[in-house]
Amino acid sequence: MTKRLYNFFPFGGGSDPAISPFFLPQLKAKCPQNGDINTRLAIDEGSDKKFDKNILKNIRDGFAVLESDARLNDDFATRSVIDSYFNPISPIFGPSFENDFVHSIVKMGQIGVKTGSAGNIRRVCSAFH
């Protein structure tokens, strides 16, 4: 959070421009520049105790806590998926975020785990292989 709030790359200094100017002061108050790095934040402001598409609304509106979530709105393809859940006919005929999420988790659970010499251990999580 510190880099995203106070030294956002590639801008060098300043905050991630994807953060709503209405949300930025709240984040900075919870995460001051030299504050406790172990502070916990709800990743879904306003709906943190419920699983629903509100997190997608937050992403669209610049209230994404995680940078990875905010980046979903930057890409045309992922932004289109997010927008599809807010189509006026979506609740009746369109996709359901909750159902799609369940199906994606089941699908991810079917991905084979690489073991032995077929896989590798990432020693630096932020580096690409």
Return the CATH number at 34. 1.10.420.10
Indicate if the pLDDT at residue 58 is higher than 80: yes
Give the model confidence (pLDDT) of 76-126 as tens digits.
999 999 999 988 877 677 788 888 999 999 999 888 877 777 777 778 877
Q: What is the mean pLDDT of residues 70-74?
A: 92
Is 113 domain-assigned? yes
Is 129 domain-assigned? no
Q: Who wins on pLDDT, 122 or 72? A: 72
Is 15 domain-assigned? yes
Is 57 domain-assigned? yes
Domain range for residue 60? 2-118
Q: What is the pLDDT of residue 116?
A: 76
The verdict on whether residue 36 carries a ligand-binding annotation is: no
Indicate if the pLDDT at residue 129 is higher than 90: no
Indicate if the pLDDT at residue 38 is higher than 90: no
Is 87 domain-assigned? yes
Render the chain in DSSP notation, one character per residue: -HHHHHB-TTTSSB--TTS-TTTHHHHHHHS-TTS-TT----SSTT-TTS-STHHHHHHHHT--SSHHHHHHTTSHHHHHHHHHTTSTTTTTTS--HHHHHHHHHHHHHTSPPP-GGGS---SSTTS--
Indicate if the pLDDT at residue 64 is higher than 70: yes
Structurally, the chain folds into a number of domains equal to 1
The percentage of residues in the chain with a pLDDT greater than 70, rounded to a whole number, is 96
